[in-house]
Amino acid sequence: MKFRRIGLTVVCAIGLSSAAQAAEMGFSIYPLGSMAFEAGAVPPPGLYVTTGVGYYTGNIGGNLPIGGVVAVDAKAKVFSSTLNILYVPQKEVLGGRLGFSVNAPSGHMNLDAQAVIGPLDVSRSVSGWGFGDTSLKAQLGWTHGSFNHMVYVMGVLPTGKYQPGFYPDIGLNRPAVDVGWGFTWLDTKLNLEFSAVLGVTFNAVNTATDYKTGDEFHAEWAIGKKLTQQLTVGAVGYVYKQLTGDSGSGARLGPFKGQTFGVGPGLTYTTKIGDHIAIFNVRHYHEFAVERRFGGGLSIASATLRF
């Protein structure tokens, strides 16, 4: 059975399970780890529905700004899920394929800290479920033989569960815009794939805490070996670095600029379920070279059906 290669430039935003960043609450709007194999490939026209789950566990030594207070030696465990719908119309624009998607995450967080400075000054442990922030994305991609690339713009709406203070917030209560470019190159002789996405996130102010998280750079990559027409395995990774410092009266710890790197194994498998092409992805990232942010591990699994 032969399968036509289908690239899915879907930001499968696994909510807060994306590796936590140096920023307010230690989390970034952009979900690191959401792009890997075929990140820059251009999907053919159709409707794509993706469901994903993620699990992140990490800790941060020292202080962390959370909801207008400061937590000390915080630990976080986050399970999250997402529903992403991508539509690619038939008509081409500027010689490329347009795509429009919406992403709706939800999740459960366990948050612990040795102390909280501010309205509270005791050790605390909280947990809870909630919806995350909704994101809308537009992308435009081109195919040139074995090289594919695309540009995108993504807007994030603060629709998620949020409450100031030391709470298990799934939403971050800050609007943001993320722009980026990605590519996928296939070496057909060696059956190797090289993919990467580069982007920058521009954050607005969290009006509940008067905290403005600085601008953030992120990059994700994947190198895979196509073992069969259906199965690709390889290495995946990401890089995060805050470009500008945090500001506002709520930024009690100053600029709080941080960085992280993540690397691990990944695979993608393509098959058919009835008349629909299905794509399964599994990845795990171990973080290192962490500065002023949570450090730990992130696991992601997702399934996509094309209609």
The answer to whether the Cα torsion of 107, 108, 114, 115 is positive or negative is positive
- Which one is the CATH code of 15-306: 2.60.120.310, 3.30.450.20, 2.40.160.40, 3.40.50.10740? 2.40.160.40
Query: What tokens appear for 75 in the block?
Result: 């630990």
- C-alpha 146/C-alpha 150 separation (Å) is 14
Largest CA distance in the chain: 63
Query: What tokens appear for 132 in the block?
Result: 């995350």
Average pLDDT over the chain, rounded to whole? 87
Q: Give tens-digit pLDDT for 28-62.
A: 889 999 999 999 988 899 999 999 999 999 888 77
Specify the residue for token string 């074995």: 146
Question: Residue 16: pLDDT band by 50, 70, 90 thresholds?
Answer: very low
- C-alpha 133/C-alpha 168 separation (Å) is 14
Query: What tokens appear for 122 in the block?
Result: 């005791």
CA distances from 166 to 18, 136, 250, 253 (A): 20, 28, 14, 16
Residues 9/42, Cβ–Cβ less than 8 Å: yes
- C-alpha 252/C-alpha 247 separation (Å) is 9
Q: Give tens-digit pLDDT for 78-119.
A: 999 999 999 999 999 999 999 999 999 999 999 888 766 555
CA-based radius of gyration for the chain: 19
Q: Give tens-digit pLDDT for 138-183.
A: 999 999 999 999 999 999 999 999 888 778 888 889 999 999 999 9
Domain boundaries, the chain: 15-306
- C-alpha 156/C-alpha 245 separation (Å) is 20
Residues 60/295, Cβ–Cβ less than 8 Å: yes
Question: How many other C-beta atoms can be found within 10 angstroms of the C-beta atom of residue 254?
Answer: 10
Residues 71/115, Cβ–Cβ less than 8 Å: yes
